[in-house]
């Protein structure tokens, strides 16, 4: 059997990065939610918020661990699988990743220690501050990695000499043309994803008639957030799409399966793109729909796939369907959030069983949208690994196909095991619910952090 090392390297990287992105898209939002709960607890003194904070922190810990260990893999895979990429653009991309480690990873990892173990060792304000620092750390991390990724989509601020990119203007590199859009779109996606998980857990408790008050808090906070962020995401996505049309028109053509650029584009609700014939089969379309969305004119024109040779086109079917999945989830989220807000306004939210039943099953939809969105943007960039600069086929490592295939199998097995257990444990934590000792039972905080730590230290060495 003749295996293609480029395809295998791509499959392996796609698998490990798709697995990884699940966790940041949850932990970025969840850390912000935990910090918010902490802030409300500090202001109101309502112990229920503290209970909720501790509850979600346990789930955060399990998710964050999976995110960290799968993230380390990626920082090495750039070399194991993409060594020629590392040589060609390491000068530019390397420092961005370096800044991510220095400004975000240490911050998150260290203050997570305080959040998980420091409850009776630090004063409440420092405990909540640690949660906030973790949340800020995750957002800073997103900033740098999205800057690096955006540079691969819309490279700027560099000079190319002998096939190697050299930095010329760091601000232009970091704030490259697609970065603000991608950053806003992804960060918002992470918060939305989390909101729908929290919404589902709250709905699950209300249906089961357990942790009613906690469930209501979760529902209100999640719907309040989603009712703003879900419509905002449509706007951000639209702006991001217009930016992509400007810089990566062929990606947009693939998203819309738009072949002939001399005619206005239809919006295909469904179609089967035939990549060989260069046309769509079984298309159900809104005439001129894509033109209206992308050019804001019914008869507006935008480049089609046939404007470039087939060797320069991305895998149209994959990009086309992934985009539709993301869009469908996004529209469903808007509908669900606005309906929830409406029910809340009518004061029937907590009694509308059918709504709660549906939402309790929808914890996973944000993850699907995130993964689909990343497939659109990464596959849509093909055949380039760095748009216009370096082709994916020229970026691989001198590693035989057998090694890549063997380790791909290992990754699949290991990640499936880890993921199954992770889901199982998170589900069990949710089943247990926000229970545990109250602040009073744990022991009052001392106003003075030094003496609090001192007491904790004394207790720890058994001199109490």
Partner 1 sequence: MEWYLPVIWAALIGIAVIMYVILDGFDLGIGILFPYARNETERDQMMRTVGPFWDGNETWLILGGGGLLAAFPKAYAVIMPAFYLPVIVMLLALVFRGVAFEFRTVSRSKTWLSVAFTIGSTLAAFAQGVILGALIQGVAVRDGAYSGGSFDWVTPFAVLCGLSLIAGYALLGATWLTIKTEGPVAERARGHAKTLLLLVLVCMAAVSLWTPLTEPRIAERWFSLPNFYFLWPVPVITALTAYLAWRWIETGREVPPFLATIALFLLGFLGLVISNFPYLVPPSLTVWETAAAPASQIFMLLGTLFLLPIILGYIGFIYWLFRGKVREGETYH
Near partner 1 in 401-460, by CB under 8 A: 402-403, 407, 410-411, 414-415, 418, 421-422, 425, 428-429, 453, 456-457, 460
| Beta carbon of residue 374, minimum distance to partner 1 (angstroms, whole number) | 21
Under the criterion CB under 8 A, does residue 9 sit at the interface with partner 1? no
Among 90, 177, 231, 443, binds partner 1 (CB under 8 A): 90
Query: What does the alpha-carbon distance between residue 94 and residue 78 come to, in Å, rounded to a whole number?
Result: 10
Among 92, 190, 198, 329, binds partner 1 (CB under 8 A): 92
Name the segment binding partner 1 (CB under 8 A); options: 274-282, 307-315, 355-363, 392-400: 392-400
| Beta carbon of residue 439, minimum distance to partner 1 (angstroms, whole number) | 15
DSSP 3-state of 283: strand
Which alpha helices (DSSP H) does 103-178 contain, by range? Answer: 106-117, 124-153, 170-174
Cα distance from N-terminal residue to C-terminal residue, the chain: 69
- Tokens 């904070």 belong to residue: 53
Using alpha carbons, list the distances in angstroms from residue 104 to 75, 110, 123, 282.
14, 10, 24, 48
Under the criterion CB under 8 A, does residue 125 sit at the interface with partner 1? no
| Beta carbon of residue 165, minimum distance to partner 1 (angstroms, whole number) | 9
Closest Cα partner for 144 from 167, 166, 177, 175? 175
| Beta carbon of residue 349, minimum distance to partner 1 (angstroms, whole number) | 31
| Beta carbon of residue 193, minimum distance to partner 1 (angstroms, whole number) | 20
| Beta carbon of residue 184, minimum distance to partner 1 (angstroms, whole number) | 24
Contact between 223 and 337 (Cβ < 8 Å): yes
Query: What does the alpha-carbon distance between residue 225 and residue 307 come to, in Å, rounded to a whole number?
Result: 42
Using alpha carbons, list the distances in angstroms from residue 302 to 90, 177, 248.
34, 19, 11
Under the criterion CB under 8 A, does residue 105 sit at the interface with partner 1? yes
Question: Alpha-carbon torsion 412, 417, 420, 425, what sign?
Answer: negative
Under the criterion CB under 8 A, does residue 345 sit at the interface with partner 1? no
| Beta carbon of residue 190, minimum distance to partner 1 (angstroms, whole number) | 20
Given the complex with partner 1, which of 106 and 235 has the nearer CB atom?
A: 106
Given the complex with partner 1, which of 119 and 355 has the nearer CB atom?
A: 119
Given the complex with partner 1, which of 98 and 388 has the nearer CB atom?
A: 98
Under the criterion CB under 8 A, does residue 62 sit at the interface with partner 1? yes
For β-strands 267-274 and 279-286, DSSP reports them as antiparallel
Given the complex with partner 1, which of 14 and 97 has the nearer CB atom?
A: 97
Under the criterion CB under 8 A, does residue 141 sit at the interface with partner 1? no
Name the segment binding partner 1 (CB under 8 A); options: 116-124, 184-192, 254-262, 354-362: 116-124
Per the structure block, which two tokens stand in for 223?
């719907």
Give the gyration radius of the chain's Cα atoms: 24
| Beta carbon of residue 173, minimum distance to partner 1 (angstroms, whole number) | 9
- Tokens 């257990």 belong to residue: 421
Under the criterion CB under 8 A, does residue 170 sit at the interface with partner 1? yes
Given the complex with partner 1, which of 94 and 383 has the nearer CB atom?
A: 94
Per the structure block, which two tokens stand in for 361?
């099953």
Secondary structure of 143-154 in the HEC alphabet?
HHHHHHHHHHHC
Q: Any idea what DSSP says for residue 307?
A: G
Given the complex with partner 1, which of 73 and 338 has the nearer CB atom?
A: 73
Contact between 260 and 306 (Cβ < 8 Å): yes
Under the criterion CB under 8 A, does residue 95 sit at the interface with partner 1? yes
Under the criterion CB under 8 A, does residue 398 sit at the interface with partner 1? yes
Query: What does the alpha-carbon distance between residue 194 and residue 191 come to, in Å, rounded to a whole number?
Result: 5
Contact between 395 and 401 (Cβ < 8 Å): no
Contact between 142 and 96 (Cβ < 8 Å): no
Under the criterion CB under 8 A, does residue 76 sit at the interface with partner 1? yes
Q: Any idea what DSSP says for residue 168?
A: S
Name the segment binding partner 1 (CB under 8 A); options: 162-170, 182-190, 272-280, 360-368: 162-170
Given the complex with partner 1, which of 348 and 459 has the nearer CB atom?
A: 459
Under the criterion CB under 8 A, does residue 121 sit at the interface with partner 1? yes
Under the criterion CB under 8 A, does residue 56 sit at the interface with partner 1? no
Given the complex with partner 1, which of 328 and 401 has the nearer CB atom?
A: 401
| Beta carbon of residue 355, minimum distance to partner 1 (angstroms, whole number) | 31
Under the criterion CB under 8 A, does residue 317 sit at the interface with partner 1? no
Query: What does the alpha-carbon distance between residue 230 and residue 195 come to, in Å, rounded to a whole number?
Result: 10
Contact between 147 and 174 (Cβ < 8 Å): yes
Under the criterion CB under 8 A, does residue 100 sit at the interface with partner 1? yes
Under the criterion CB under 8 A, does residue 157 sit at the interface with partner 1? no
Closest Cα partner for 394 from 89, 11, 146, 73? 89
Name the segment binding partner 1 (CB under 8 A); options: 30-38, 96-104, 229-237, 244-252: 96-104
Under the criterion CB under 8 A, does residue 17 sit at the interface with partner 1? no
Under the criterion CB under 8 A, does residue 116 sit at the interface with partner 1? yes
Residues 236 to 295 in contact with partner 1, rule: CB under 8 A: none
């Amino acid at each position: 059997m003749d295996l293609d090392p480029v395809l295998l390297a791509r499959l392996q990287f796609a698998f490990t990065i798709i697995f990884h992105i699940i966790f940041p898209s949850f932990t970025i939002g969840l850390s912000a939610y935990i910090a918010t709960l902490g802030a409300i607890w500090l202001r109101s003194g309502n112990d229920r918020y503290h209970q909720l904070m501790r509850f979600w922190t346990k789930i955060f810990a399990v998710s964050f661990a999976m995110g960290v260990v799968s993230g380390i893999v990626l920082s090495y895979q750039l070399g194991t699988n993409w060594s020629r990429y590392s040589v060609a653009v390491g000068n530019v991309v390397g420092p961005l990743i370096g800044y991510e480690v220095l400004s975000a990873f240490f911050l998150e990892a260290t203050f997570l220690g305080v959040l998980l173990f420091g409850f009776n060792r630090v004063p409440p304000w420092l405990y909540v501050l640690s949660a906030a620092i973790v949340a800020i750390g995750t957002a800073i991390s997103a900033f740098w990695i999205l800057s690096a990724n955006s540079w691969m989509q819309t490279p700027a601020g560099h000079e190319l000499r002998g096939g190697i990119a050299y930095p010329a203007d760091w601000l232009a590199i970091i704030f490259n043309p697609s970065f603000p859009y991608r950053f806003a779109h992804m960060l918002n996606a992470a918060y939305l994803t989390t909101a729908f998980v929290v919404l589902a857990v709250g709905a699950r408790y209300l249906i089961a008639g357990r942790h009613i008050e906690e469930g209501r808090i979760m529902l209100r906070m999640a719907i309040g957030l989603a009712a703003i962020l879900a419509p905002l995401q449509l706007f951000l996505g639209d702006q991001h799409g217009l930016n992509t049309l400007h810089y990566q028109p062929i990606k947009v053509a693939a998203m819309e399966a738009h072949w002939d650029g001399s005619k206005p584009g239809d919006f295909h609700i469904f179609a089967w793109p035939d990549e060989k014939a260069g046309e769509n089969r079984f298309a159900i379309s809104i005439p001129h729909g894509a033109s209206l969305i992308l050019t804001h004119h019914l008869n507006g024109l935008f480049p089609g796939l046939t404007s470039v040779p087939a060797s320069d086109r991305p895998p149209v079917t994959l990009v086309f369907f992934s985009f539709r999945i993301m869009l469908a989830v996004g529209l469903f989220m808007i509908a669900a959030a606005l309906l929830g807000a409406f029910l809340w306004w009518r004061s029937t939210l907590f009694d509308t069983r059918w709504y709660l039943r549906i939402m309790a099953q929808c914890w996973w939809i944000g993850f699907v949208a995130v993964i689909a969105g990343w497939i659109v943007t990464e596959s849509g960039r093909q055949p380039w690994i760095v748009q216009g600069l370096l082709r994916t086929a020229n970026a691989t490592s001198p590693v035989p196909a057998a090694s890549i295939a063997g380790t791909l199998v290992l990754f699949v097995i290991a990640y499936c095991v880890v993921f199954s257990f992770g889901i199982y444990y998170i589900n069990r934590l949710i089943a247990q619910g926000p229970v545990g000792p109250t602040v009073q039972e744990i022991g009052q905080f001392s106003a003075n952090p030094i003496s609090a730590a001192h007491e904790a230290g004394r207790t720890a060495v058994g001199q109490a």
